[in-house]
Amino acid sequence: MLLLSYLWVPSDLPADDSYAQTISAVQPKMVKIYGAGGIRGLEAYQSGLIISDQGHVLTVWSYVLDTEDVVVVLNDGRRFQSQLIGADPRLGIAILRIELTETPYFTRQASAEPEPGDRILAFSNLYGVATGNEPASVLHGTIAARTQLAARRGAFKTTYKGPVFILDAMTNNPGAAGGALTDRQGNLIGLLGKELRNAENEIWLNYAIPIAVLANSIDDLIAGRTPSQAGNADRQKPAQALNPTLLGFVLIPDVLDKTPAFVDNVRKGSVAEKMQLQPDDLILFANERIASTCKQLVEELSFIDRIDPVTLTIQRGQNLIDITLQVP
């Protein structure tokens, strides 16, 4: 089925106040992203948007980026190999960089908070219909509500639990994640989220994360800093703390500055094996604190007494799973 880009302009708007000018200004700031996927029904594409004049691209953090061969395609069809600058699993975002300067990009200056009923435009490469110099698909709708996200992807919870805009527009489609939500003037107000459905009624959610919520993390990632979280100044380390060895697993060799916290192997008979931790699991959080690199995980465990349980949030394939470990 071929899905064509859709735009509806309300008849109550005067001709010179149409969305055409806004759309033309936004399209050069949108990109198509291609990477891992293509098997077991996993789409190998998603959307993104340019947020600096140095080629920084904001998108969602997903399995699509789990490869060294992530290609970014511009509105005019130019293709670039990208570099993953950083990711914030708490917010579900990632920053890529391409060798590109002097290009249109979204600024993130403070603007009035959108209200329910405000008209919006949603730009994305939904269903992957744009592969070259075709424009992003555009949906028109309104903000239905602002609320806290309580959702799940499949049978597993999302790591993001903050405020979202619920949209009266069908944005919850394959490939749409990482797209831009703008107001009528083309100002960036949100990032289209991953496919999710409501945990209470199983209805799929059309939503976006407010850009104001992401601003500090975006700045940290571009600057090469670990996204900020509550500091360790008031935390004290116990005399006997947890560590991967006590829990019964070994991480991959920590050879990079930010080596991801992948499990290399699990010791037989350990609590990790009992709770079904597996090799190749990627640990993201320890007790809801970021621990997505080997160094971060070891540091976070050092604040937990060995007699206390620790809940690890892991990525296994495309799913997020919580596993609670406690040393007997």
The answer to whether 190 and 209 are in contact (CB under 8 A) is: yes
Q: For the residues 287-295, what does the mean pLDDT come to?
A: 85
List the single range of 171-175, 246-250, 274-278 with lowest mean pLDDT. 171-175
Q: For the residues 231-256, what does the mean pLDDT come to?
A: 88
What is the pTM for the complete model shown? 0.78
Q: Which pLDDT score is estimated for 289?
A: 85
Distance, CA of 156 to CA of 153 (rounded, Å):
5
Q: Which pLDDT score is estimated for 152?
A: 55
Amino acid sitting at position 296: Q
Distance, CA of 115 to CA of 113 (rounded, Å):
6
CATH number of 16-222: 2.40.10.120
Exposed / middle / buried, residue 240 (Cβ in 10 Å: 0-12, 13-18, 19+)? exposed
The answer to whether 262 and 280 are in contact (CB under 8 A) is: yes
Q: Does the pLDDT of residue 14 top 60, yes or no?
A: no
Q: Which pLDDT score is estimated for 88?
A: 87
Residue 13's pLDDT band (cuts 50, 70, 90): very low
Both tokens assigned to 191: 């990032």
Q: Percentage of residues in the chain with pLDDT exceeding 90?
A: 59
SS3 47: strand
User: pLDDT averaged over the chain?
Assistant: 86
Distance, CA of 136 to CA of 115 (rounded, Å):
25
Amino acid sitting at position 327: V
pLDDT digits (tens, 9 = 90+) for 177-221: 999 999 999 999 999 998 887 666 777 889 999 999 999 999 999
The answer to whether 269 and 283 are in contact (CB under 8 A) is: no
Highest mean pLDDT of the ranges 46-55, 231-240, 291-300: 46-55
Q: Which pLDDT score is estimated for 199?
A: 63
> CB within 8 A of 73, min separation 6: which ones?
31, 32, 33, 34, 79, 80, 131, 132
Among residues 243, 263, 250, 233, which one has the least CA distance to residue 305? Answer: 243
pLDDT digits (tens, 9 = 90+) for 137-176: 999 999 999 998 865 554 445 778 889 999 999 998 999 9
User: 244-325 belongs to which CATH class?
Assistant: mainly beta
Domain extents for the chain? 16-222, 244-325
Q: Percentage of residues in the chain with pLDDT exceeding 70?
A: 87
Q: Does the pLDDT of residue 37 top 80, yes or no?
A: no
Residue 7's pLDDT band (cuts 50, 70, 90): very low
Helix (H) or strand (E) holding 244: helix 244-247
Q: For the residues 52-56, what does the mean pLDDT come to?
A: 95
Residue 121's pLDDT band (cuts 50, 70, 90): very high
Q: Which pLDDT score is estimated for 258?
A: 76
Q: Which pLDDT score is estimated for 53?
A: 93
List the single range of 4-8, 258-262, 318-322 with lowest mean pLDDT. 4-8
CA distances from 87 to 36, 37, 157, 231, 325 (A): 16, 19, 18, 19, 26
Q: Which pLDDT score is estimated for 253?
A: 93
107: number of Cβ within 10 Å = 11
Q: Which pLDDT score is estimated for 39?
A: 61
Q: Which pLDDT score is estimated for 4?
A: 40
Question: Longest C-alpha distance within the chain, in Å?
Answer: 72
Tokens 């380390």 locate to 237
